[in-house]
Structure 1
Amino acid sequence: MKSEMCSACGSSKIMHDMKIVDFGHGNAKNDLSIEIKTTDRILFNKFEKGALKAQICGSCGKVDLSINNPQDLWNAYQKTKNL
Structure 2
Amino acid sequence: MKSETCSACGSSKLIHDMRIVDFGHGNAKNDLSVEIKTTDRVLFNKFEKGALKAQICGSCGKVDLSVNNPHDLWTAYLKTKKL
TM-score (normalised: structure 2): 0.97
Structure 1 residues without counterparts, runs of 5 or longer: none
| 1:4 match | 4
CA separation in 1, counterparts of 2:7 and 2:77? 29
| 2:13 match | 13
TM-score (normalised: structure 1): 0.97
- Count of paired positions: 83
Structure 2 residues without counterparts, runs of 5 or longer: none
CA separation in 1, counterparts of 2:43 and 2:78? 22
RMSD: 0.6
CA separation in 2, counterparts of 1:9 and 1:70? 26
| 2:44 match | 44
**C-alpha deviation, 1:33, in angstroms:** 0.3
**C-alpha deviation, 1:43, in angstroms:** 0.9
**C-alpha deviation, 1:10, in angstroms:** 1.0
Aligned-residue sequence identity (percent) comes to 87
CA separation in 1, counterparts of 2:71 and 2:33? 15
Greater than 4 Å deviation, 4+ residue runs: none
CA separation in 2, counterparts of 1:3 and 1:70? 17
